[in-house]
Amino acid sequence: MRAQLAALLAGLLFGVGLCLAGMTQPRKIIEFLDFAGSWDPSLALVMLGALGVHAPLQALIRRRPAPVLDACFHVPGPRPIDRKLLAGSALFGVGWGLAGFCPGPALVSLPSLQASAWVFVGAMAAGMLLQHVLVSRGGMAA
């Protein structure tokens, strides 16, 4: 129960941070990607701020023998760069650039009733369902 409450609070904090930074506004993302036009560097500043908090805390946390709410750290090992990774990354980038949303900000934007957020989340859910169906039928490796 404590782990779920911590996850909920972390998610709420993340969502509030996205809203305060303006990352739920697709225009901000599209302008960040528009180097030849009205480039807006604010997304880079948000990323630098996140790294400035994450890096020192990560170093401190990794010194612990285990996380506070689990018996051990779950760190994935290295994985090869393959076609699925490249295709997924390209699809994510194209969707992000066209829609101005990535999954976190899109979910946080749903209560605002922005049609674009609902369309994006619907398309994202449909893609996740399609991938699940393809994997379960053996048409795509997990």
Q: Which residue has the tokens 């779920």?
A: 4
Of 100, 117, 99, 116, the closest CA to residue 108 belongs to 117
Domain tally, the chain: 1
Torsion-angle region of 71 (φ positive above 0: left; ψ -120 to 50: alpha; else: beta):
alpha
Say if 28 falls within a structural domain.
Answer: yes
Q: What is the pLDDT of residue 100?
A: 84
Say if 142 falls within a structural domain.
Answer: no
Reported confidence tier of residue 1, pLDDT bands at 50, 70, 90: confident
Q: 54 is in which domain, residue-wise?
A: 2-136
Say if 96 falls within a structural domain.
Answer: yes
Say if 141 falls within a structural domain.
Answer: no
Say if 37 falls within a structural domain.
Answer: yes
Eight-class DSSP state of 13: H
Say if 131 falls within a structural domain.
Answer: yes
21: Cβ–Cβ under 8 A, 6 or more apart, which residues?
A: 42, 46
Please give the structure tokens belonging to residue 28: 């901000």
- 8 A C-beta contact, residue 35 and residue 20: no
- List pLDDT tens digits, range 101-111: 888 888 988 98
Say if 38 falls within a structural domain.
Answer: yes
- List pLDDT tens digits, range 40-96: 888 889 889 989 999 999 999 989 999 989 999 998 999 999 988 898 899 888 888
Say if 103 falls within a structural domain.
Answer: yes
Q: What is the pLDDT of residue 4?
A: 92
CA diameter of the chain: 50
- List pLDDT tens digits, range 6-29: 999 998 998 888 888 888 888 888
